[in-house]
Structure 1
């Protein structure tokens, strides 16, 4: 039979059929959620547990062939956590002690008080609800562990002392460890670059003591072979295996930072190269606004770099052949254009120039703007 989450399926075992009927009647009248199945011996009870799921077993102690404690031990071998209530007319400290050692959930003695079934119903419901909550939590934690294990992002869990409790394969690979087990037991700060430890300490305090997440931040860490590396780290408080701690999800950006440094070096080199030209140089975007200039362009125009950047190029040049913007559009359409124009300087002077405009394209072939060169020698090259 399928277990209904709104029902509490009870298997009641007792060799007294009249007591079984009485108990089942009281339990089902006490709480409509109860559905009670009765069996008169332990062997039949074990067979019933194999054929259908139950939320709780209620068993007498003194039964032929197999007593309640033996049944309890047999059930525990199959399901260590299934709620089991020993409801017996033969009570003793010795029986109670053995039952507790065997993992009984509740221990009750039968009496003649009509309230005994109300007490039994309450204990059964409490035991079942507690077991369901723990099972649900176990399932959530199991899914959480599976998610961590399969996550392509490095993830580390640490306890209240910032000691690593868990690391996934991606985290081990990130720091050059042979396996995640090599990280367990080590301090989080052992992998932080000395220059970042003060910041990390503040973030850990917020997570572990204030129980608040902290914003994602870039930090230096000790990478494989001890070299400097960089990661984006998101840190938040978590409860793992019943303990309060924290979780850090990392994204290695070392290659990205290295690429940025290389691009910056390349841009610096290009800027220096452009600044050695005798020609004025400018880079225009698709709208004809200046996005890059060299020193010669600044000297010719009398404007500094900040004044030129973002300026519409039509404001800087005048031609006899119509609006200067048409020369930009022609270059975008045809790929190259040469023309004569006058550069209007900051002081209002006009400097005759020979200009060359070339279309700038990206890797996909789409136009990115125009680059222009201007010289004052009156030539056409």
Structure 2
């Protein structure tokens, strides 16, 4: 410990107090010892100045050393206090311990006991500073969203971790203290070799940065960024490793969104500008790509006809024009009433209709649910000359764990617009009527 230690010594014998100060400062150069001759004076100095330890005689006029101890601990219950007295007895020792004395030492002849006193003071101050540092660390840690941690250099003993660990890792701090290696078990298996290499580098004395996935309970969907630094002793040997781990899931998801959007746009451009493909082939490829990228096995283009002249989502027919995926009720040419189709909900929306878990909606046990049994769905309208032509949708019979991403929604919107344009273009440039176009697009 390189910091100085200020000691306040209280003894009703000024000469003895002065001698004690001289000898303590001679034993340990870190010590600065102030002396006073009464408990009241000691209390006044203690409350207005900074000290690291109190040393007090027991038998003094007006107030004993234990009276002084009780007054100090009333405001500062853990402050280092050593009773250094020439009047020793089991009763005094017992009273001092009951009052919370840090240490108890009897005065003796000669100077050897001053070395012992200096050692007791140093140990008491070291413990108190360590306890305060740990308390401050805990207080700071509980105000941080980052996981703050400290291990021994061999990673076998956890010295500190804050409660943010429980939220990020999905494990309790109690289990981590009991078995420090469990934090490694919470890392994605594919990332463990990389993290282990970083841990080894940190133990050798290198600062590290590493990103990886954690939290088995959440299927390792959380991304974290960790920075670690070694702590060395005076010889340069690594004795502890410390650092923080930050949840960067939102950033990683934004990065993935940008990457996925660029990829979607590139694929859309590649398909739609390929001069060797027919419109039907382009639609087939886009549906196949959409099913893959949306993790939805069914991709469908439908046409919708209303029973009357005015659009009414409760009275009309949905006909499958093009489809991807094997579903007994989703083949080109198959029709059903709008009242039994999810498209009825789609055409009533101004934007896309997205449902990542049908169980959380009122769709269950409806006619559409009984006919198709979808667990998730995303769909948009196809407009020709600003009038409803049909829908483009992707679906799965399995609910999704998470909502559709912005990149996935963008893909569906762009494909919907492109299909709308191509249908309008085909109707304009050919002599086909709507029924003929449906047959041509839906044919093998």
TM-score between the two structures when normalised by the length of structure 2: 0.44
Q: Is the counterpart of residue 83 in structure 1 residue 80 in structure 2?
A: yes
Q: Alpha-carbon deviation of 1:202? A: 7.9
Q: Alpha-carbon deviation of 1:34? A: 4.5
Which residue of 156, 162, 177 corresponds with 1:166? Answer: 162
Matches of 2:161 and 2:43, distance apart in 1: 40
Match of 1:141 in 2: 137
The 5 A counterparts of 1:63-102 are: 63-102=60-99
Matches of 1:205 and 1:96, distance apart in 2: 54
Match of 1:315 in 2: none
Checking the alignment, whether the CA contact within 8 Å between 1:149 and 1:168 is kept in structure 2 is no
Alpha-carbon spacing, 1:8–1:191, altered in 2? closer, same or farther (3 Å): closer
Checking the alignment, whether the CA contact within 8 Å between 1:229 and 1:254 is kept in structure 2 is no
Match of 1:274 in 2: 273
Q: Alpha-carbon deviation of 1:274? A: 2.7
Please list every run of 5 or more consecutive structure 2 residues that lacks an aligned counterpart in the other structure: 176-181, 232-238, 278-444
Alpha-carbon spacing, 1:185–1:6, altered in 2? closer, same or farther (3 Å): closer
Match of 2:322 in 1: none
Q: Alpha-carbon deviation of 1:205? A: 9.7
- What do residues 227-263 of structure 1 show as CA deviations (whole Å, max 9, x unaligned)? 8846254375899xx9989853331112321332232
Checking the alignment, whether the CA contact within 8 Å between 2:79 and 2:128 is kept in structure 1 is no
Checking the alignment, whether the CA contact within 8 Å between 2:69 and 2:101 is kept in structure 1 is yes
Aligned residue pair count: 254
Matches of 2:240 and 2:3, distance apart in 1: 30
Matches of 2:143 and 2:62, distance apart in 1: 48
Q: Is the counterpart of residue 113 in structure 1 residue 110 in structure 2?
A: yes
Secondary structure of the residue aligned to 2:59 is coil
Secondary structure of the residue aligned to 1:141 is helix
Match of 1:197 in 2: 189
Matches of 1:16 and 1:161, distance apart in 2: 48
Q: Alpha-carbon deviation of 1:88? A: 0.7
Matches of 1:232 and 1:22, distance apart in 2: 59
The 5 A counterparts of 1:1-381 are: 8-28=5-25, 34-128=31-125, 130=126, 134=130, 137-138=133-134, 141=137, 146=140, 149-150=143-144, 154-155=146-147, 157=149, 166-168=162-164, 172=167, 196-197=188-189, 199-200=191-192, 203=195, 207=199, 211=203, 216-219=210-213, 229=221, 231-234=223-226, 236=228, 247-252=244-249, 253-276=252-275
Matches of 2:259 and 2:116, distance apart in 1: 71
Matches of 1:75 and 1:114, distance apart in 2: 29
- What do residues 315-349 of structure 1 show as CA deviations (whole Å, max 9, x unaligned)? xxxxxxxxxxxxxxxxxxxxxxxxxxxxxxxxxxx
Please list every run of 5 or more consecutive structure 1 residues that lacks an aligned counterpart in the other structure: 279-381
Q: Alpha-carbon deviation of 1:270? A: 0.6
Checking the alignment, whether the CA contact within 8 Å between 1:87 and 1:109 is kept in structure 2 is yes
Matches of 1:18 and 1:161, distance apart in 2: 49
Secondary structure of the residue aligned to 2:63 is coil
Matches of 2:34 and 2:209, distance apart in 1: 55
Q: Alpha-carbon deviation of 1:89? A: 1.0
Checking the alignment, whether the CA contact within 8 Å between 1:157 and 1:167 is kept in structure 2 is no
Matches of 2:28 and 2:172, distance apart in 1: 51
Alpha-carbon spacing, 1:262–1:118, altered in 2? closer, same or farther (3 Å): closer
Alpha-carbon spacing, 1:276–1:158, altered in 2? closer, same or farther (3 Å): farther
Alpha-carbon spacing, 1:114–1:266, altered in 2? closer, same or farther (3 Å): closer
Q: Alpha-carbon deviation of 1:140? A: 7.0
Secondary structure of the residue aligned to 1:62 is coil
Matches of 1:73 and 1:216, distance apart in 2: 51
Matches of 1:33 and 1:245, distance apart in 2: 28
Alpha-carbon spacing, 1:247–1:211, altered in 2? closer, same or farther (3 Å): farther
Secondary structure of the residue aligned to 2:273 is helix
Matches of 1:156 and 1:84, distance apart in 2: 32
